[in-house]
Amino acid sequence: MYPFPNAPWHGAGANACISLRFFLPTLFALLLTSAANAETSHSALTLSSALERTLDNSPSLKLYVFRKDALQGAAYTANLRPGYEIELEAENFAGSGDTEAFDSAELTVSLSSVMELGDKRNARSGLVTNTRSMLDTQLRLESLAVLAEVTRRFVETLSTQARLELNKEALKLAEEAAKSVQKRVSAGAASAAEAKRAQSALAMARLMQSSAEQRFDTSKVSLAALWGESIPSFDSVEGDLFNFGADISLEELYIALENNPAIAIYADEERVANAEIRLARSQSKADLGWSFGIRRIRETDDTALVAGLSMPLFSERRNAGEVSRLRAQKNSIAVEREADILKLRALLFSAYSARQQAIVTVEQLQTNVIPALEGALRQTRQGYQRGRFSYLEYISVAKELLESKLMLIETAAAVLTYGAEIEQLSASALTANPSTPIGQGPGEKQ
């Protein structure tokens, strides 16, 4: 589902984008449509299109382009040698007596700089290089989060779209029930109260249909907002809500967890910490300041060379506290890494277990519950028309069927959402064979 751990990042200055061909397979299970959907509407949005749009326009990913540019500037600065200073010094002028005129001044022109000791320039460059490596990992981590959020919102929109279709089915059932009741009332086999109840149920079904349309519009806006669209440019989403594939084992996911950028970043942090320690140690070595120049001596109108050296004292002792602080900070990284691994393993186990239970629920609903209720609805509809069942029995079975189909949609969406969470946690493919669906849509026989 995600292009980690070895995604190719495009060149500096370009948008932070990941090649979609590196996506792990589970996402593409969503993109598989049934053979019945041979024609695709031009206004239907696929998951791959949603991912591409988000990667091209996500503000959080674009920020890394500027951060990389800033590090390039920092690398240039870190690699510079100490600069030079030129100094002009005048003495013994604008005074009294012989020193009143400027001609009496003694002039000294000198050039000065610093001779860096302790390999400071390489230490600075090393820190920037390791910081840049950590920034790449942070970009991968942020991209992982962005792609997971796109997937979650896409699945939500897909399930909302399925609920909209289910509400259309509920409206159709309510219309059929109202017609059946009206026939019985006209024949004198049912009371007018039943007709009113049926009309009330029909009005409620229409209200629920309107509410479902509004929720679908809201979910589309939420999805489109990820790439900066305030008005969605698509009318529907295209995907298979019931195509889960065959999951790999939890043990394999635990192994893959080590490749998660959230864990890999600790190695980068440790390298940065070591570079900071090297830089701090290099600062403990005092730099040698030097100057060299020429002086005009007024009394004899002669010139002479001047030279000087300077070095601060006790700089190593003054910098010992900073080195100690950085060393302690580095030692804490390994502990934080182990704590995060344990936390991620617990989250991975929870999501994996919940997904497996949700898959079992979907299978039971598709195999046993919904087909049985569909058969019961046909029988009660016919029995009601013949006077064998009451209106309450007829409506109760229809309600149970609709609730079961709604549960099927919500559970299937949960399976896919758990899958996105698992792949975000493990940064690897969840399914071994994503093209093998475990079931069809609500009410369809396997």
Note the pLDDT of residue 432: 57
pLDDT band with cut points at 50, 70 and 90 for residue 275 = confident
Confidence (pLDDT) at 308:
87
Domain 20-82+119-285+321-426 has CATH 1.20.1600.10: yes
Q: How far, rounded to the nearest angstrom, does the alpha carbon of residue 60 sit from its chain's CA centroid?
A: 9
Query: Average pLDDT for residues 177-191, to the nearest whole number?
Result: 86
Predicted confidence band at 216 (pLDDT cuts at 50, 70, 90)?
A: very high
Confidence band (pLDDT; 50, 70, 90) for 100? low
Q: In what order do the strands lie in the sheet with 85-91?
A: 85-91, 106-115, 288-297, 302-310
pLDDT at 84 over 80: yes
Going 426 to 427 to 428 to 430, the CA torsion angle's sign is positive
Say which range, 66-70, 226-230, 415-419, 442-446, has the weakest mean pLDDT: 442-446
Structure tokens, 328: 């302690």
Give residue 29's pLDDT band: very low, low, confident or very high (50, 70, 90): very low
Mean pLDDT of 90-116: 73
The mean per-residue pLDDT over the stretch 224-228 comes to 92
pLDDT band for position 101 (cuts 50, 70, 90): low
Q: Is the pLDDT of residue 375 over 80?
A: yes
Does residue 337 surpass a pLDDT of 60?
yes
Q: Within its chain, how far is the Cα of 76 from the centroid?
A: 31
Cis bond before residue 5 (omega within 30° of 0): yes
pLDDT above 90 covers a percentage of the chain that reads 30
Which pTM value belongs to this model?
0.74
Q: Which residue has the tokens 């988000």?
A: 54
pLDDT higher for 419 or 5?
419
For 7, residues 6+ apart whose C-beta sits below 8 A from its C-beta are: 18, 19, 22, 140, 143
Domain ranges of the chain: 20-82+119-285+321-426
180 and 388 Cβ atoms separated by less than 8 Å: no
Residue, of 84 and 154, whose pLDDT is higher: 154
The residue-averaged pLDDT of 157-170 equals 94
Tell me the C-alpha distance between 283 and 323, whole Å: 10
The H or E element spanning position 156 is: helix 120-186
> Does the pLDDT of residue 102 top 80, yes or no?
no
- Listed residue (443, 291, 328) closest to 376, CA to CA: 443
* pLDDT band of 91, cuts 50, 70, 90: confident
Taking only the tens place, the pLDDT of each residue in 279-298 is: 888 877 777 888 888 887 76
Say if residue 39's pLDDT is above 60.
no
Which pLDDT does position 104 carry in this prediction? 63
The rounded distance, in Å, linking the Cα atoms of 71 and 129 is 9
pLDDT digits (tens, 9 = 90+) for 423-444: 888 877 776 544 333 233 344 4
The pLDDT of residue 306 is above 60: yes
Q: For the chain, what percent of residues have pLDDT higher than 70?
A: 83
Average pLDDT on 190-211 reads 90
Say how far apart CA 398 and CA 380 lie, in whole Å: 9
